[in-house]
Chain A
């Protein structure tokens, strides 16, 4: 039987086992992914990134609780959580410790938590994280919270994968806020200053606000999605966003939380939903989706074409040209010209 069927039926063990297949990039896993693909695209993907120890896992725990027990007017969402931690570059092993902060979610059948190791990938996610998220999406989780490694560098990959990206800061990480340098503000849809019980919150907020003014949001959209951002004027004017004829532009809010005590969580929870609404109303959701899928398709095409071409020529021809590059007789670009003209 296909691995996909029981997953669609809500079998948690089948889901867990399929996730392992996906992580190990097996043939059975790929087949199941193909079968599940038509069922994907429904979940709201929320990225949570920020330097180590800022409180990402604690916040994910609280947000999941919030959406599981929302205020009376809202319905509870089924929540999937994917938490990525770094693999050791030396042994390939990893300690995945994010669940320690998520014990409040134990025993809730509407929550599914999966830890994964980055397995050598450097962008804050593992190479299979997107596929893991897809499977959870198909399995019916309505919101998927994705916690990145949090290496403190620009973890841009999460912004590509997630619809809504939260950047978590905490006071006292240094005199100023460290992660600001890494251009991380540019990927933030929502900024959270966690550990607001700690001294230095005001400084942190001031620093963030100052830097945000530099990273103008409209610039940001055009930079990230340059091909598509020009011709797709926002069609729906939403009452959430400023006056009548101003463009639909999202300016990232700065929110303060104390994740360990659940303070400020509802505000973040609401803001995440409001951002999704903005993405829908502005047409940005469709644009981002298309840009992401286009990039994914291009990557797959490249890999497949290269493989097909390599299989079609004798290896010694390739090795010969490679040797000439090593000896500086051909530049890589000349080598490509040579290889491609010879093979026709």
Chain B
């Protein structure tokens, strides 16, 4: 433990109305000792970037089931960068076709998790992604 709490934001961009997955991840992160800001449904990329800034989070988790990830995710990364929040690690959960994963990783996403992913795996990845930022 570094003594410093990991702060995360879990958000659901786009228009689909299912936030069960997002809530499961938020709870799992909490149970691993993190502080998780939960912002709820139908967040625009602008709202997500603004919340990430005000809350000074280390990581942002996006839950996307609508299929709009190739539009939403690059936009969110762009906004984070414009806010000088390049340090924020972004991961995605939801329904993401395999062929889109390489492109998402290329633009800076640290992990893509489909249905059935173990939350322990997400937690482990989040921890190592965050510690690689703070040690540089």
Contacts and interface: CB of A to CB of B under 8 A. Distances in A.
Interface stretch (A36-44, A94-102, A268-276): A94-102
Interface string A80-99: 00000001100111111101
Given A112-B54, A114-B55, A95 B46 contact: no
A28 interface: no
B90 to A, nearest CB: 17
A113 B54 contact: yes
A107 B54 CA distance: 12
A12 B53 contact: yes
A94 B39 contact: no
Interface of B: 3-5, 7, 26-27, 29-40, 43-44, 46-47, 50-51, 53-56, 83-85
A95 B33 CA distance: 10
Given A20-B7, A88-B30, A95 B53 contact: no
B46 A107 contact: yes
B102 to A, nearest CB: 31
Nearest to A21: B56
Contacts of A19: 56
Nearest to A112: B54
What DSSP secondary structure best describes chain A's contact surface?
mixed
What DSSP secondary structure best describes chain B's contact surface?
mixed
A93 B40 contact: no
A107 B50 contact: yes
Contacts, number: 78
Contacts of A103: 39-40, 43, 47
Contacts of B85: 13
A93 B56 contact: no
Interface in A249-301: none
B35 A13 contact: no
A188 to B, nearest CB: 29
A93 B35 contact: yes
B37 A96 contact: yes
Contacts of B47: 103, 106-107
Nearest to B6: A93
A17 B44 CA distance: 23
What 7 pairs between A and B have smallest CB-CB spacing? A93-B30, A100-B40, A16-B56, A106-B47, A20-B56, A93-B33, A97-B38
A12 to B, nearest CB: 6
B54 to A, nearest CB: 6
B51 A99 contact: yes
A24 interface: yes
A95 B36 CA distance: 5
Contacts of A127: none
A211 interface: no
A114 B37 CA distance: 10
